[in-house]
Amino acid sequence: MNNLHEILSFHYVYPLPLNKFQILMKSIESTRNIIETSPLVLAKILSISTNHARTILKNYQQVLDINLVDVYHSSSIKAITFNSEFYPESLHDLLDPPTVLYAKGDISLLTQPKKIAIIGSRKATNYSSLALEYIIPPLVEQNIVIVSGLAMGADSLAHRATIQYGGKTIAVLGHGFSHLYPPENKALACEIGENHLLLTEYPPYVGVQKWHFPMRNRIISGISNALVVTEASLKSGTLITTEHALEHGKDIFVVPGPILKEQSKGTNSLLREGAIPIWDGYQIIEELKLF
């Protein structure tokens, strides 16, 4: 039996994705045996150096003396492990699901059956704002939770429009809660953390790294029933998220864009590849009813 305190302590020291954590558990049977595992054995299981394994075990021993549940609670952070009732079942379909999710706000939003991600370019234009005026209100009427990534551009527009129209939104972060990126979205992040939901797979101390954002995108896709793309260039990171969604058989809805605009080249390319063109939220609702 795996102990919550031990799972959180090990994840704090070495945040393994669930597939690798399960390999570890299969080898040592339980979290209670981590402390008795030799650096040589741990190194072999995790395919890391013995010195690295030794450091992990040393740090783990130190963190075990701290009640992380209380520490997180004092910072309004809820730790949701892979076996929690609030952990989204759909994340288990990923190749590398997070072992722990860290949340601020209303974690009941994770149990809502209808969630749609709205994503797009960090350089989104007023065209995205106009499109969201037609897309978001019908979704809010159906109590659909809007998921995005708190980035500048389309993500911020989607979160703000959802709040404006009285809906609920989830922002998935690419860093721990001791950091905030981008800093321009501090007020928006506070609003979401108090009345909606901020979500991350990273322990609080983990800072902003470029490679975290593609990892974050798989969670945005993983917890959502479908994706909406407003604007995206051909080299946009948005297309990484759509690839995750397509791999798991999810619908991709795309706002067609003017053929001469750079921010429409990625979206129009998605349409050519079979994405579903939409220009209001009612189309999304009708399309999802068909399936």
Where along the chain do its domains lie?
4-74, 107-290
CB atoms within 10 A of CB 222: 22
How far is residue 60's CA from residue 54's CA, in Å, rounded to a whole number?
10
Q: Match 């079942």 to its residue by tokens.
A: 89
Any idea what DSSP says for residue 31?
A: G
Q: What is the pLDDT of residues 218-274, one digit of tens each?
A: 999 999 999 999 998 877 677 777 877 777 788 999 999 888 888 889 889 888 888
pLDDT higher than threshold 90 for residue 66:
yes
Burial class from Cβ neighbours inside 10 Å (0-12, 13-18, 19+) for residue 274 reads: exposed
pLDDT higher than threshold 60 for residue 1:
no
- Which helix H or strand E contains 137, and what residues bound it? helix 126-141
Any idea what DSSP says for residue 260?
A: T
pTM value is 0.94
pLDDT higher than threshold 90 for residue 191:
yes
Residue 183: HSE in the Cβ half-sphere, 13 Å Cα cutoff: 1
The contacts of residue 98 (CB under 8 Å, 6+ apart) are 17, 18, 82, 91, 201, 219
CA 145 to the chain's CA centroid: 14
Is 3.40.350.10 the CATH classification of the domain at 107-290?
A: no
Which string of DSSP letters, residue by residue, matches 50-86? HHHHHHHHHHHHHHHTS-HHHHHHHTT-EEEETTSTT
- Which helix H or strand E contains 115, and what residues bound it? strand 115-119
